Copies of this chain bind each other. A is one copy, B any other.
Amino acid sequence: MKSSDETAARDLNALREKKPLVHNITNFVVMNSTANVLLAAGASPVMAHAENEVEDMVSLAGALVLNIGTLTDEWVRAMVVAGRKANELGVPVVLDPVGAGATGLRTAASQELLGAVDVAVVRANASEVLALAGGAEATKGVDSVHSAEEAAEVMPGLAKELGCTIAVTGETDVVTDGEKTLEVAGGHPLMGYVTGTGCAATVLVGAFLAVDDDSVQAAAGGLAFFGLAGTRASEKCPGPGTFWIRVLDELYNITDEDLRSAGFISER
């Protein structure tokens, strides 16, 4: 049996060879940065949100990323249309429920999307996962006020209830479908000082899903790849501006052998 790190390395090569189109309906804050993340990694991003275009666009895609970071009702409608078409075509869908728990609109939109679309992976921070699990405490805006460990307790149950894989990022990332659970090391505290790092993790999960239909493995692989970029970028780093630029450089430079030998993925 191949190890998860071995598979992640193979998936990274597949990603660079196939250059899958990743269709994003995402927030205004990160459109540029997550497009750059996907390009640096070797994928081909497209951002398209018009309700009368998303079905055509997702038909060309290897994965669909739905991110509610600056949502309105209109955008959520387009996400549902795109998501259903993706389901019809077998295109895997990743959901980033940005700020779920912070406002009623965000929690409701996340639930609506999870009800209307068959989502392969929910990539979220701990507070968002707790909000989706019905936790009473509010998220403070879009930054997590809980640890991944806190979220990990409710994740297997939530994953089974939702019928999808849940990937929570934090000091250690945790990925589970309720049966198999993987932990992913890597990353760096500077990630908390750059906007859209969670969203970046999400699009890389999408890119890995485009080449690997094992959603737990694909999510762990995308997170390990991003975590390694963060770890390498943080070396002798003067601050968050430089850090992010180096993350993009690293996503471009990290080889399959680098990812394999990092050994970031382990069974929980």
Contact = CB atoms under 8 A, between A and B. Distances in A.
Interface of A: 21, 23, 27-33, 35-36, 39-40, 44-50, 52-53, 56-57, 60-61, 69-73, 99, 102-106, 138, 140-143, 192-196, 238-242, 244-253
B29 A49 contact: no
A62 to B, nearest CB: 10
A248 B239 contact: yes
A195 B244 contact: no
B241 A241 contact: no
Contacts of A241: 36, 40, 244-249, 252
B242 A140 contact: no
Contacts of A196: 32, 35
B141 A45 contact: yes
A97 B199 CA distance: 27
Given A57-B102, A60-B138, A35 B29 contact: yes
B239 A40 contact: yes
Contacts of A248: 239-242
A152 B250 CA distance: 35
B29 A47 contact: yes
Contacts of A57: 102-103, 141
A236 to B, nearest CB: 12
**Of listed A69, A72, A241, residue having the most chain B CB within 10 A:** A241
Contact of A32 (B33, B44, B61): B33
Given A48-B99, A239-B250, A240-B248, 16 more contacts: A21-B141, A27-B47, A29-B32, A30-B32, A35-B196, A36-B240, A39-B192, A40-B241, A44-B142, A46-B99, A52-B73, A56-B105, A57-B102, A60-B141, A242-B245, A242-B249
